[in-house]
Structure 1
Amino acid sequence: MPLNVELVSPDRSLWSGEASMVVAKTIEGDIGVLPGHTPVLAVLANGVVRIDATEGEQVRALVLGGFLSIADDRVSILAEFTEPADEIDTAAAEAALREAEQAGDDDAADLARARLAAASSAS
């Protein structure tokens, strides 16, 4: 029996469908979810979510904050912000990182690093 997965943020629904596995980063560490997983409610950390769809597609997305809920083979990823990894402009993220480092803006630098990590996971 597959997982029913939904990845959403306040401004859009990024992906929903059936999957064989989900991998996400929580504040407690990475979590891998397979069918039959015990119920969990976790706080998401900034990072990449990977969804292995049952039809062979692999979805990778940058997720910034939010929650992960697992119950009865349903996985809900409720992110504060999400962006498909394959849509991230690497050159823009590199430029943003340089600007943030020069300005001493740690939050902006962390965001740029997360975007670059997500973009590299898509290749």
Structure 2
Amino acid sequence: MSLYLSVLTPNRIFWDSEVKEIILSTNSGQIGILPNHISIFTSLDIGLLKIRLKDRWLTAALMGGFAKIVNNEIIVFAYDGEMSTDIDPKKAQQDLEIAGANLNKAEDQSQKSEANLAFKRAKTRVEAVNTISF
């Protein structure tokens, strides 16, 4: 038995096919979804999406959103997403360093909030690139 995963962003259909298992980053931690999972609707944090196909795992960076799981169908509405294979590792690392510097320079609460989100996005992209597919 398998699951059907659709990942939609405002600009495109990011993923649309059968999978064996996924791991999502929610606002309360990571959850694994296998066939016959209980129905849920959850918010997603900026974090990794791990997708298991037959015998291999793929990793993507998701920039938050929501997920609905019902009857072995998973629909993810994400603000944005990138497959780890589409991320330039050097650029991702540079972006993380810049985001870290901007976070350290942030002075007021508004700047700190924006800088923290940018840092979290950059960190997730680096984690996606550095996650070993297994």
TM over 0.5: yes
Percentage of pairs with the same residue: 27
Please give the secondary structure, in 2, of the residue aligned with 1:11.
coil
Contact residue 17 and residue 53 of structure 1 kept, 8 A: no
Report the RMSD for the aligned CA atoms in angstroms: 1.5
Rounded to whole Å, the distance in 1 between the matches of 2:116 and 2:33 is: 32
Separation in structure 2 between the aligned mates of residue 58 and residue 15 of structure 1, nearest angstrom: 14
Q: Between Structure 1 and Structure 2, whose CA radius of gyration is higher?
A: 2
Give the secondary-structure state (helix, strand or coil) at the position aligned to 2:130. helix
How many residue pairs end up in the alignment? 122
Task: Write the mapping of 1:1-123 to structure 2, written as runs, cut at 5 A.
Answer: 1-54=1-54, 56-104=55-103, 105-122=115-132
Q: Which runs of 5+ in 1 are unaligned?
A: none
| TM-score for both structures, normalised by structure 2 | 0.83
Q: Deviations over 1:37-66 (max 9, x none)?
A: 110000001111111124x45332100110
Give the structure-1-normalised TM-score.
Answer: 0.89
CA distance in 1 between counterparts of 2:37 and 2:9 reads 23
Structure 1 moving runs of 4+ over 3 Å: none
Higher normalized strand content (fraction of residues): 1
**Structure 2: where are the runs of 5+ without partners?**
104-114
